[in-house]
Each structure stands twice: as structure tokens, then as C-alpha cells.
Amino acid sequence: MKTKIININEIYIAEIQSDKVEINNVQDALDIFGNCVYQGISKIILHEKNIVPELFDLKTGIAGEVFQKCSNYRVQLAIVGDFSKFKSKSLHDFIYESNKHHQINFVSSTDEAIEKLVKY
């Protein structure tokens, strides 16, 4: 796993880059959030491919726990991926509502993630 630091007009964003799943459980997410916040970075980009698929099944409760950690650590998160492959109406409703409030953003590209994290 590599953390790429992006600086846009003194707004720092950490992009987590990896070829494998890095978030398998809540503790993995907490470790990433904690490491970024420790470095003074509270805006984080994750890629859907680096997150265990169970997070996107809201019935597991993993998403709720992970996203609660965002609130606790005051982390603004953008998750980059193709979410159309998930057929859950409740997930799509959650994505829609999350994107309206800007703490957790579901986007289709890294450029869109950066744009949202810099803007809000």
C-alpha cells in the first residue's frame, strides 16, 4: 500500500493506492484514517477495489461502523469506483444521501474525488 499526498492550494488529500484489498474490516479502515489524521490529513481517497465487498452490503453493518469512524476522526472520504454493479436499492439510496452531505462521497474517478474534497 502506498499513500500519495496531493496538495491543491494547501489542501492536503491522501490517496490510498494498492493492487489488493486493504480494508478487510473496521480496524483496517481505522488504521488508515488514524495514520492520515496523524499526518495532519483529514481528506482521504479510497478505491472501491481496495475495500472488501462486504462493506457495500449494508446488512453486514461494516459500512455503518467504518463511516462512523469518519465522523469520529473528522475525516472526509471519497470512494472511487463503479457502484452501478451493486444492485442494492438501499446502497444506492445511501450513496445518494451521502453525496448530498459531502463527508462521504462516492465518485467515479480520482479527479472527481479531488474536486469534491477540495470544494467541501
Question: Which among 59, 115, 65 has a CA at the least distance from the CA of 91?
Answer: 59
DSSP single-letter state for residue 9? T
Summarize pLDDT for 32-55 with one digit per residue, the tens.
999 999 999 999 999 999 999 999
Summarize pLDDT for 1-20 with one digit per residue, the tens.
999 999 999 999 999 999 99
pTM of the full structure: 0.95
How is domain 2-119 classified at the CATH fold level? Transcription Regulator spoIIAA (3.30.750)
Q: What residue segments make up the domains of the chain, in order of their start?
A: 2-119
